[in-house]
Amino acid sequence: MFVKQLYTGCLSEAAYYIESNGIAAVIDPLRDIEEYLSLAKERNSSIRYIFETHFHADFVSGHLDLAAATGASIVYGPGTQTSFPVHVAKDGESFEIGKLRVEVLHTPGHTMESSCYLLKNEEGKDYAIFTGDTLFVGDVGRPDLAQKTNEITMDDLAGMMYESLQNKIMPLADDVIVYPAHGAGSSCGKNLGPETFSTIGEQKATNYALQQQSREEFIKAVTDGLAAPPQYFPINARINKEGYDSLDAVLAKGMTALDIPAFKKKIKEPDVIILDTRKAAVFTEGFIPGSIFIGLEGRFAEWAGSLLPFDQEIVLVTDEGKEKETIVRLARVGFEKFAGYLAGGFEQWKNNNEPIDMIIDVEADELAMDMPFDDQLVIVDVRKLPEYADGHIKEAVNIPLDELSDPGSMAHLEDNHNIYVHCAGGYRSVIAASLMKRQGIHNLRNVVGGWSKIKELNDKFKFEKSKEVLN
């Protein structure tokens, strides 16, 4: 028996490769499938099944491309309806993988078709359960993502989740390994733990959702405090259900090198987005006017999906050699409308004496020195509301980064304001500054190091917490 977790940190996503006697299965694959194909080739195995735990909302699955490459069957849980051929499994149905067996456990709650896959070893003993978004380490899947009709409410789904956990998960032995689809940082739950796997026994002891409580208490516990899901979640869920272009076709469009004349012609077209994926500290020193910055070093795909429209063409400015990685990571969350990349990158643009823009970086102590003497100074804190509520500069205005995709969120910022933007560490604030620049707000500065540096100067700032939010 061979089981491998394939974890992608920037999406907090876990796919799985299972193999026995030359037969393999992949659970919840990402859109870029080379790792699975390489692993099977390396181990001289054949991928026979692709098990999907549900219609993922936070990434585009690789089920179609992997099935086309291997001939494997795509398996979903009961009640699944798709626009492409799949095997809709029955609750309790089993699949043989060499000397192993995988049993389908229908566990609606996160979505209606959500299912877990129970792996039994060569002796027929329960060995591990692949829980998708039904059970995480320390949490359970949010029950609001599939609420699209009046017939099924969030509370209905939470009730189904309670029954699924009580009837399908809790009876399992304590030593059964729990392999979830996501880890810390994912928006598919409220507060996922840092570990990427656990055991049933550990979760029974520590996971709030598996403690002894009534159905009503459980519903309240899992629905209270849910933040709004990222705007791209329903788009990705629809793509996974209806199908998509092959990744090779997407790459063919995106990997078109544009010289400067071709690039300038393209960006003059309406609704074309210039996306710059270099590092934040490099971007602030100079960039093509109108560019949106989202750096590869952060939660790149997640922020792209939250901030960029899916129906507009994207042209890329990247570090040399990073073009393909950028396209693949964007394709993971459903972007397909690429018009190419700037050949030679920003350096080629600058060396050609084309116009450039920049963002002024300042240290936290410079902000502290400027505050008492500038009545037009406005501090914009772009962290999430719970982060802001837990502590912020007393005078700071909170505009969470995911709200800045709406230009109306900047309506109260005036031309005469001296704007200082910060986040937690300096990544999100540069994204925010680029969005503000694109809307014509240029009198701004980026606070390097963000809140992490600001709070070190506790003798130079006045801090407060938003108790009404925290409580």
Q: Domain with 102 in it: what CATH number? A: 3.60.15.10
Over pLDDT 90: what percentage of the chain? 89
pLDDT at 149 over 80: no
Kindly list the distances between the CA atom of residue 297 and the CA atoms of 7, 148, 309, 360, in Å, as whole numbers in the listed order: 17, 34, 21, 20
Q: What is the pLDDT of residues 5-39, one digit of tens each?
A: 999 998 999 999 999 999 999 999 999 999 999 99
Phi, psi (5° rounding) for residue 151?
Answer: -75, -30
Q: Tell me if 364 sits within 8 A of 457, measured CB to CB.
A: yes
- Among 101-115, 116-130, 181-195, 444-458, the minimum mean pLDDT is found in 181-195
Domain containing 193: what range? 2-235
Q: Of 351, 385, 403, which residue constitutes the final position of a domain?
A: 351
In this structure, is residue 395 part of a structural domain? Answer: yes
pLDDT at 138 over 60: yes
Kindly list the distances between the CA atom of residue 227 and the CA atoms of 142, 186, 189, 223, in Å, as whole numbers in the listed order: 10, 12, 9, 10
Q: What is the mean pLDDT of the chain?
A: 95
Q: What is the pLDDT of residues 458-470, one digit of tens each?
A: 889 999 998 644 4
| DSSP track, 211-230 | SS--HHHHHHHHHTTPPPPP
Q: Of 235, 259, 284, which residue constitutes the final position of a domain?
A: 235
Confidence of residue 471 (pLDDT cuts 50, 70, 90): very low
pLDDT of residue 148: 53
DSSP-derived 3-state class of residue 457: coil
Q: Tell me if 276 sits within 8 A of 292, measured CB to CB.
A: yes
pLDDT of residue 42: 97
pLDDT at 253 over 60: yes
Tell me how far apart the alpha carbons of residues 309 and 298 are, in angstroms, rounded to a whole number. Answer: 19
Q: Of 235, 253, 274, which residue constitutes the final position of a domain?
A: 235
Domain count across the chain: 3
Q: Which of 366, 364, 332 is nearest to 457 (CA)?
A: 364
pLDDT at 53 over 50: yes
Structure tokens at 87: 């095997």
Identify whether residues 224 and 113 lie together within a single domain.
yes
Identify whether residues 112 and 209 lie together within a single domain.
yes
Q: Which of 415, 413, 391, 395 is nearest to 404 (CA)?
A: 413
Q: What is the pLDDT of residues 315-371, one digit of tens each?
A: 999 999 999 999 999 999 999 999 999 999 999 999 999 999 999 999 999 999 999
Quote the pTM value: 0.92
Which one has a higher pLDDT value, 470 or 378? Answer: 378
Identify whether residues 391 and 328 lie together within a single domain.
no
